[in-house]
Structure 1
Amino acid sequence: MEENNKGLAMLAQVARGLVAHDAQQTSTQLGDRTTYVGMSDIGKGAECLRAAVAGKLSLHQKPTMQDIAEWFRAGEYDRIRSSLRRNLILQRGHWMENGFAKVLNANGANLLHQLEITVEHDGVPIRAHLDFTLVWGWPRPAIRILELKTTERIPDTLYAGYETQLYGQLGLLKTYWAKPVFAMRDADGSIVFEHLTFPQAAKLVFGISLPREADKLDMEGWVLCLSMSDARAFGPYRPDTAMLGMCQRIAGEIWTTAHQIQTGETALSGVPYCTGFHPLCDWCDHAEGCPKFTAQELDDPAYDQSLEDLADLKASKAYLEEAISTEEERIRSFYAATASVGDSPGWLQTAGFRFKVVEQAGRKSIDSAKLDAELRNELGDEEAESLLARITKTGKPSHRLYVSPRISHQSQGMTS
């Protein structure tokens, strides 16, 4: 096996492990998600009902460990890489969540990790899993819900789905505070407690006595966004009856619509979808076949604004690259002038930096035309072409985004 194939085999093993871990994590912590509407379903439904319903129907079949093994044998390495990238992003959230739980525990917090609330509203089974619930009994009873989101870049404002998810958690916690609907499992999925009220759970786990009525304590929710190098807390959010009602309505729509599709009363193609631009559409498991991506004309101005923003960013990039080049050349010239006065000064130091200029050897490259001619002279045309074919390496296919202004759009802009 070639070295490159050995590397691909290693990546395939990692991809298989991620698939297995995801299936185990879902089973032990979330159970069968087709049997209830979760808070993440409701958050997704607030922005795209179609995606939430399709997820509830499990229309997207995730790759299995066997699939990845077959892809490797068939040489379908791009599919392995796609599965690997997606699962790395999904698992990143679980890994950071587990690490963050250790951080909170190290801080001495009274922490409930993945607290579960199971209720039924108008015949719709609803289940919430709260990432972190912090409990204080003194000096004033207080509850803080932390919903953890991991992102490549910290957003300036929260997605509506994230806020909806947190409002649903807060609403259920307050509304069902004194009902025996709370449960929690450990990392292996074993039950820590179940069928308790929240005050009973707090007494059992922490020995803290909380009021029997949720109105008698301070309750807040926060969304904590983490990247690999930054963090930001959005909040506080407080229980809101109207927002809980909206969450319950969305849950009903998801549950009812999924049932209607299963019985043939309606089709997924007729379910409302997110028509505006949304970054999460890039990661949607149900984008294929979505009417949003089959339309040719995009009327929503958000798309135009996004492309305009991209053009502005590229212009800024060009300006910054030119400014960097100019500044570097100025500093190099200053160094050269300093060196011409006497011996090379080596490092020059300022209050915050040091710098020097060193000469580097030029890059070596092969003159392909000259090589071709030399090989033909030495080996003959046929053998030369055969040798060149054997040593020629083709790069991986890539995708290129082409963006150009429309003439009609430009004309409209000039006349308006």
Structure 2
Amino acid sequence: MEDTMQNEHKAQALLAQMARGLLAHAQRNTKAQLGERASYVGMSDLGRAMQCMRAAVADKSTSGSGVSPEEVAEWFGDGDDQRVQSVLGRQLILQRGHWLETGISKALSANGSQFIAQLEIETTLQQGESSVPLRAHLDFTLVRGGAQPAVRILELKSTGHLPKTLNPAYEMQIYGQLGLLASCWNQPCFNLRAEDGHVLFSGLTFPELAARLFRARLPESPEQVDIEGWVLCLSLSEARPFGPYLPDEAMHSLALRLAGDLWDNHRKYANGLIRLGDLEYAKGFHPLCDWCDHAATCPKFSSRQVDSPEGDAALRQLEELKANRKSLEQEIRAMEERICRQYARRDAAGGWLSTGDYRFKVSNMPGRTTLNRGRLQAELTSVVGGEICERILTRSTDMGNPYERLFVGRHPQTATKTQQENNHVASGA
């Protein structure tokens, strides 16, 4: 019995060491590559602000969750294993993207591609009498010179499961990157740092940077270059690209306006002119809330305490049922993929295969057609103006009948990150 307890203590010590190490590495890496993020507006901030201005301002004004490696050590000493594992789970998810980024870098190098990792674009937006510092950090920028010059921005996103459509926040980020690349092309706005944060190049135009790194000759104007942006979503076993996205003046203007609003709110909050509660926040059932470091104080989650053990038990049972359904869906998907692979190997040319009691075949089906409202709005605004665009969209929008929907979630102050992967449950009532 004593040996079992000692081994369990050693196991928890190992997890605490991993959590502390990942936290320390993340903090050092962020400071070296991204600098002090409260001092500028980044392109990922734009996607955040588009979904929840309150969370974006809170991120700018605080250092994320604020957890330090020393706090993890204290929790371990106090026997608070749940909090330690919560931090570890969060860090594993966050670091997974960096690990996959290293793998993609090796793949590009093996292909002989000319690319820049973590290219920084630094500029200032003049908005009235105020200046908004902007920075974009591009995961990978592929460069081709010569008679047919081309530049490809590749933004990586690590996800537990591949999405069928791209998150609008990611689209805003890639449009912001494309807009800054095109608008700053021939200006001294491009910097490059080593992994430890040491500046390799600073204050160059993009053609100058390409010439120094690859001896590539690029035109002085971005209009003469084939520029595209791609978002590559990666899980641990699959990948799905979204694109191409092209430089778009309307989306660039929208990104700059959003950056100005975020910076203005950030400065007002920092100077005590507004409170976080005064800012707009994501309404309804929003997946962003599952991972938000500021959910515990969000007005959305302010609620009255109800003394109901029976209700708590019912909600816990519902959560378990939903988790079991998710597990079954994953098993079903894995089995379907396995059978599809077996079908492909038998070269059945689209015909039926018989197993005895069953027959099966695999057919190619057309993809779903969806309307991207944000893109349509941007296109209409650039052609007919914002006011006419709003009238057209209003007249073309149908409202469905009201219905009831149940929202269930563990309280932000008590939920762990590992539990949060299954915590928000929505079901028709």
After TM superposition, give the deviation of residue 212 of structure 1 in Å: 0.2
Q: What is the aligned partner in structure 2 of residue 159 from structure 1?
A: 167
* The one of 4, 17, 22 aligned to 1:18: 22
Q: Which amino acid aligns with 2:172?
A: T
Structure 2 gap segments, 5+ residues each: 305-317, 336-352, 356-417
Structure 1 position 240, deviation (Å):
0.7
C-alpha change, 1:150 and 1:317, in structure 2 (3 Å) is closer
Aligned pairs for 1:251-330 (under 5 A) are 251-294=259-302, 314=325, 317=328
Match for residue 253 of structure 2 among 234, 242, 245: 245
- Per the alignment, residue 181 of structure 2 pairs with 173
Cross-structure match for 2:155: 147
Superposed, 1:75-94 pairs within 5 Å as: 75-94=79-98
Query: Deviations 1:61-111 (Å, cap 9, x if unpaired)?
Result: 421111011111111111100000000111111111112111111110000
* CA–CA separation in structure 2 for the residues paired with 1:351 and 1:128: 55
CA contact (8 A) 2:146 2:218 kept: no
Do the aligned partners of residues 268 and 401 (structure 1) sit closer, same or farther apart at CA in structure 2, a change above 3 Å counting?
Answer: closer
Question: What secondary structure does 2:255 align onto?
Answer: helix
Q: Where do 4+ consecutive residues of structure 1 move more than 6 Å?
A: 397-406
User: Does the residue aligned with 1:168 lie in a helix, a strand or coil?
Assistant: helix
* Structure 1 unaligned residues grouped into runs of 5+: 297-306, 325-349, 353-396, 410-416
Q: Which residue of 1 aligns with 2:34?
A: 30
Match of residue 7, structure 1, among 6, 11, 30? 11
Q: Distance in 2 between matches of 1:150 and 1:398?
A: 19
Q: What displacement does 1:141 show?
A: 0.3
Between the aligned partners of 2:262 and 2:134, the Cα distance in structure 1 is: 11
Is 1:186 the counterpart of 2:190? The answer is no
Structure-2 separation of matches of 1:72 and 1:251: 40
Pairing partner for 1:40 from 44, 48, 71: 44
Residues 192 and 199 of structure 2 are in contact (CA less than 8 Å); yes or no, is this contact kept in structure 1?
yes
Partner SS for 1:55 = helix
**Alignment partners' CA distance in 2, 1:253 and 1:224:** 28
Query: Which of 35, 54, 58 lines up with 1:54 in the alignment?
Result: 58
| Cα distance between partner residues in 2 of 1:248 and 1:116 | 17
Aligned-partner SS, 2:240: strand
Residue 151 of structure 1 aligns with an amino acid whose one-letter code is T
Which of the pair has more CA radius of gyration? 1
Give the match's secondary structure for 1:274: coil
Counterparts in 2 of 1:111 and 1:403: CA distance versus 1, 3 Å: closer
Could you tell me the TM-score, scaled by structure 2's length?
0.70
Please state how far the C-alpha of 1:295 moved relative to its aligned partner. Answer: 6.1
Correspondence 1:335-350 to 2 at 5 A: none
Partners of 2:65 and 2:293 within 8 A in 1: no
Indicate how the Cα distance of structure 1 residues 161 and 59 shifts in structure 2: closer, same or farther if over 3 A, else same.
same
Which of 217, 222, 227 aligns to 2:230? It is 222
In the alignment, the residues of structure 1 paired with residue 90 and residue 327 of structure 2 have an alpha-carbon distance, to the nearest angstrom, of 30
How far apart, in 2, do the equivalents of 1:268 and 1:98 lie?
Answer: 37
Q: Deviations over 1:4-51 (max 9, x none)?
A: 000001111111100110011101100000110111111111111111
* TM-aligned CA distance change 1:255 to 1:401, over 3 Å: closer
Distance 2:156 2:56 in 1: 20
Residue 410 (structure 2) aligns with = none
